[in-house]
Structure 1
């Protein structure tokens, strides 16, 4: 019986089903068809009438008729569904409150130490298999646990709609087969960028769990086993996400042309690789606007403006701002 979720007992459901297929019937008729005592059948029919599932005539014997199921049941089902959804939301809040409490009182709920390359591989595969929305990666040269091209979980996740944003450092592309593997990832939907250097290896799944080195381990084949950490929702995780976004903002997009050639791998590409923020900043700088005014107009700190200008100077190989302006004009940076 399935109508208990809307407050209909199994015996009421059985009689209601008989009434639906009978059209009209007396309590005695239904008692015979259901194999019930007449008094029980009458009691159940009165209960159905009180619940709006049946109606009856005023004569003797009374004739009962089933209320239309769409009128009698669908509103009850909707109310039940709404109640279940409220219960689900409340359960979710309670689960979150419990997890928050456990994290505050037990550091083991926040950080798990992973020792060895094989254990690291298993965790990297697991967090990708469980990812629902987005994966963030820092990819450094000379793999520690997962060789370039061996990450089948990425392609499976991309196929089910998980977004991948991957940052590669320049030296990564010196590894054998690295360029071809990145091209395959970009073709599959990976959004890739490059920078001259990355500070550490890092993988973040759904902004809820991250894997990163605790102790710098040697590359594959070295005697040092990697010691890494899996960290869950915490200030440390928030800092790692902010670190990723900071590097992502200034990185050069990697593009694949029709011949599968990959551009931007040196992390210091042409003007179109500048972020919109840097292009606007550069246009104000070339126009002679002072750093303080640029910061005010763009909603940035003065220190951030100076840092971005320095980064563009390094990209252009310029020693002065005037040289940066000349480079911008000569290379269509504006």
Structure 2
């Protein structure tokens, strides 16, 4: 299982043995528990200590982790004692690094796939991506993208936009008058802005389809499958510098991200006082209601999985989905919400 984090099979075996022991132990005690040769145990302890997973107490010294660059200064010996570093901290760091590496690999994969596609059709990156700077230029392109739409405009909206302030998108009503569908995903923090509720209420009244998420991943706008626009710089959702993307693998990735976020976003309704309420998605599937009933009855995830002939991972994924629908962060909160909404 821990091989996914870069541990060899024997390293994992020794680490699991050390986790079960109450305190610092010698290599000989570990050897007896793990059933590995003494020389192998000493070598594995050296590598685990270097990774920060095991703390080494040299003779006459306190148990402490190896400092960066110190791994080679002390050779494990039979007189040393060893203790496991807190798994949540040590393995958590490895897991975060693995996730970061995977995200980097995914980004590189998209870039490589696009480079290959462009090479095969004789297009250059300049034919696909245009960098736009300056408030007026970005505002002009933003309007052009909407005017180019024939069927649909998809957008993700963040609070505190400065290039085109909320409620001042003049191209939108013109495009909607032509029959263009608008689907808009809004950052929940938008409602905390002055006039935020009124802007959303008016947009819905004009025909926009609006959904909310707790955090919009990135500001963007997409016209059909032909044009897209997003910020040029990382974490600069409100800065004017932008990128215009033509039909390409990059645009396909933008559309895929948008549709994924749209599926988990929550619809809204306008109250009589013109305030906006975020729906929690009351139309649950039968299997979700069954999971909720068993969860509220006190069953564990594994017991629920066995009762419904599902995998434990499926049960956990559906519970996470229910928490997202309810807009809560704990299972206790989910139970209260389910009771109020008569979900189970």
Same fold (TM over 0.5): yes
Per the normalisation by structure 1, the TM-score is 0.57
1:113 aligns with 2:131: yes
Per the normalisation by structure 2, the TM-score is 0.55
For structure 1, which runs of at least 5 residues remain unmatched after alignment? 1-99, 297-301
SS of match in other structure, 2:212: strand
Q: Give the 3 Å change call, closer, same or farther, for CA 240–219 of structure 1 in structure 2.
A: closer
* Residues in 2 aligned to 1:247 and 1:303: alpha-carbon distance in whole angstroms: 21
CA contact (8 A) 1:134 1:164 kept: yes
CA contact (8 A) 1:183 1:262 kept: yes
Paired residue for 1:197, among 186, 210, 215? Answer: 215
* Residues in 1 aligned to 2:164 and 2:274: alpha-carbon distance in whole angstroms: 24
1:243 aligns with 2:257: yes
* Residues in 1 aligned to 2:191 and 2:334: alpha-carbon distance in whole angstroms: 28
Q: Give the 3 Å change call, closer, same or farther, for CA 283–183 of structure 1 in structure 2.
A: same
CA contact (8 A) 1:216 1:226 kept: no
1:201-280 map, 5 Å: 201-216=219-234, 226-264=240-278, 269-270=279-280, 273-274=281-282, 279-280=285-286
SS of match in other structure, 2:330: coil
Q: Which has the larger radius of gyration?
A: 1
For structure 2, which runs of at least 5 residues remain unmatched after alignment? 1-117, 295-303
CA contact (8 A) 1:192 1:254 kept: yes
SS of match in other structure, 1:123: helix
1:330 aligns with 2:340: yes
2:288 maps to what in 1? 282
Q: Give the 3 Å change call, closer, same or farther, for CA 132–108 of structure 1 in structure 2.
A: same
CA RMSD in angstroms, aligned pairs only: 3.1
Paired residue for 2:328, among 311, 314, 317? Answer: 317
Paired residue for 1:176, among 194, 197, 203? Answer: 194
1:9 maps to what in 2? none
CA contact (8 A) 1:281 1:294 kept: no
